Structure 1
């Protein structure tokens, strides 16, 4: 257990990353707090972990998300301060949206700046996240009435790098329209130096075990029910429950016709009451997991702002609410535009298959490399 993983907010993407690293990397031990009362986790988690992480001579690396006040932890536990300390930013509190600037609690952003100062490596999940944090430090620190520290950006920046959030894509072929399956395989093909070339088959085994929960992950971070519930119900009826439907159809066939029909196939139109693609309503989903939604065949429609231009091609971005409304109206009138569309951006670069080498290199005790 040379790698010590600490997650003060063990839920959503924070939990997903911690679990992935623990499962895929050797010699990991994970300590967590439940994903409740985020503000209190940011304020007090360091003290809790200082008392509950056992002292061990085997630890070599400490990996934590930026919810944890790393400065407090290493002050309370000098033994952990000697480790290679990696801080991972899922978001940053210097630009995290608030209704009014006056409502931004100075302490949370200040804690993240201090944590960066004591960390050995600071990792962000996007270039946007990194640059928005670094370029906001100066303005943020001007809130201090006097005796302000200076040049913090120049101290922190050399420690910083980007490692996109790694996704272990499951096999969702049974959810997909036929015309999108080949495109899905193509999107997952990785080529180039040091990359893994996936087989012709879609991901199996480790990835498959999560496939049933993929759409549930989309909803997990939202408190507001959305059309994804309807979409999930359709998927459950048409795909995930095929064995049950087949048995039911066979039973019905036997009772009505007295014959064994082992080759029963299922026409999606029958399951949808005979409604074709053009007549079916378009489901508009707020997935909270874009990189996964596109992989599952969704058409992304995102603001030309924040991290979205870094991830999605320009044709999937809108600049104004009017543009968004116009495009949605067009899609609703002509849903086949969306249903038949093949995504033109990259997905494979966000997969664990593409990123595992970067994370393995990061979580070593060797001198840091340019990743």
Structure 2
């Protein structure tokens, strides 16, 4: 099988997905075109132009199937390079442009949203990494189309988009068995997300302050990707932990070495999320696979993966009072997990259903079905 992959905004999650597919389906002949994850507005609007003018020979070669990410402007690319209309096309949605939280830096989001719709409609089959992702695109696109003045095929669009399927990005199974957590009087808590506003730094700060207020014995590990500018809350988080009589700062910053990061995950008891935007939560899932107990908000994609015991009551309200109440709910759960650790009763949570070896047969079947149709 010859597959052309088009990844128009090749961010870390997209790279992880593609690397996993290629590693676990070595019998497929992969041809890959990617564009770097920068200059968002130009990238999502210009990827079809870039590829059509700079990579036409690659696009016009012979394949059995096209597998594109949702950032690809597939409808425009098919117009510019009509040769690719010969092959069936799958589009994979790692995210959609309808459920991003508002920020002061937020761009005009209408055009990226319309591009999501056009690319989904131009594909023969659409895949989402979570039902939350699928549902927010269905609802968001319907709400957007409802605002338009006339000649809007609202029902037809929703009907076609509703045929999409859910197939998560896989996580790698551990090479070694997970360690059973031993008893202890301190809880090791890992927060391993991008240091950006959509991962809830203000909520994380409120949570850390509440831990200090309640005197919980917690060792914090703050990892995750960082950028040139980071939200100011992280400086306040660092200061709060360092000034605390009960909290200890064990890690503060990105861990570049993969082996070191794996060891860090295996040594922690709990992986924590405060996100206000997550379509699958790969960082959490990978840490759970390494042996961490998840503690996640009761929103976004997380109810699909984890039972109520591992979710804390949450609110989409960004008001100060709502954030404090959410922090108290999360800290109450942390206190319960600390008590369980002192008794040697921390659980191991099974996410084996989301590993690549389990998911690959479904991916393979999807590709095969496209060839048949």
Query: Could you say which TM-score interval applies, normalised by the shorter chain?
Result: 0.5 to 0.7
State the match for 1:34 in structure 2.
36
- Report the alpha carbon displacement of residue 23 of structure 1 after superposing the two structures with TM: 2.8
Gaps of 5+ in 1: 181-217, 242-276
Is residue 10 of structure 1 aligned with residue 13 of structure 2?
no
State the match for 1:310 in structure 2.
304
CA contact (8 A) 2:78 2:84 kept: yes
- Report the alpha carbon displacement of residue 309 of structure 1 after superposing the two structures with TM: 0.8
Distance in 2 between residues matched to 1:240 and 1:312, nearest whole Å: 23
Q: Among 145, 149, 153, which residue is 2:158 paired with?
A: 153
CA contact (8 A) 2:64 2:88 kept: yes
CA contact (8 A) 1:66 1:112 kept: yes
State the match for 2:320 in structure 1.
none
The verdict on how the C-alpha distance between 1:230 and 1:329 changes in structure 2, with shifts beyond 3 A counting, is farther
Higher strand share: 2
CA contact (8 A) 2:95 2:133 kept: yes
Distance in 1 between residues matched to 2:250 and 2:42, nearest whole Å: 31
Matches for 1:191-270 after TM superposition, within 5 Å:
219-220=224-225, 229=251
State the match for 1:112 in structure 2.
116
* Cα shift readout 1:12-63 (whole Å, capped 9, x = no counterpart): 1101111222233221111111122233211111111223151444311111
Q: Which runs of 4+ in 1 moved over 6 A?
A: 224-228, 235-241, 281-284
State the match for 1:164 in structure 2.
168
CA contact (8 A) 2:181 2:269 kept: no
- Report the alpha carbon displacement of residue 115 of structure 1 after superposing the two structures with TM: 0.8
Distance in 2 between residues matched to 1:28 and 1:50, nearest whole Å: 19
- Report the alpha carbon displacement of residue 103 of structure 1 after superposing the two structures with TM: 5.8
CA contact (8 A) 1:3 1:62 kept: yes
Name the larger-Rg structure.
Answer: 1
What SS is found at the alignment partner of 1:366?
Answer: helix
| Bigger relative contact order, structure 1 or 2 (CA pairs below 8 A, ≥6 apart) | 2
- Report the alpha carbon displacement of residue 164 of structure 1 after superposing the two structures with TM: 1.2
Distance in 1 between residues matched to 2:138 and 2:226, nearest whole Å: 27
- Report the alpha carbon displacement of residue 110 of structure 1 after superposing the two structures with TM: 0.6
Distance in 2 between residues matched to 1:68 and 1:170, nearest whole Å: 33
CA contact (8 A) 2:340 2:346 kept: no
State the match for 1:367 in structure 2.
372
Q: TM-score, normalised by structure 2?
A: 0.67
Q: Count residues in correspondence.
A: 290
The verdict on how the C-alpha distance between 1:323 and 1:168 changes in structure 2, with shifts beyond 3 A counting, is same
- Report the alpha carbon displacement of residue 324 of structure 1 after superposing the two structures with TM: 3.7
Distance in 2 between residues matched to 1:221 and 1:288, nearest whole Å: 17
Instruction: Report the aligned-residue RMSD.
Output: 3.7
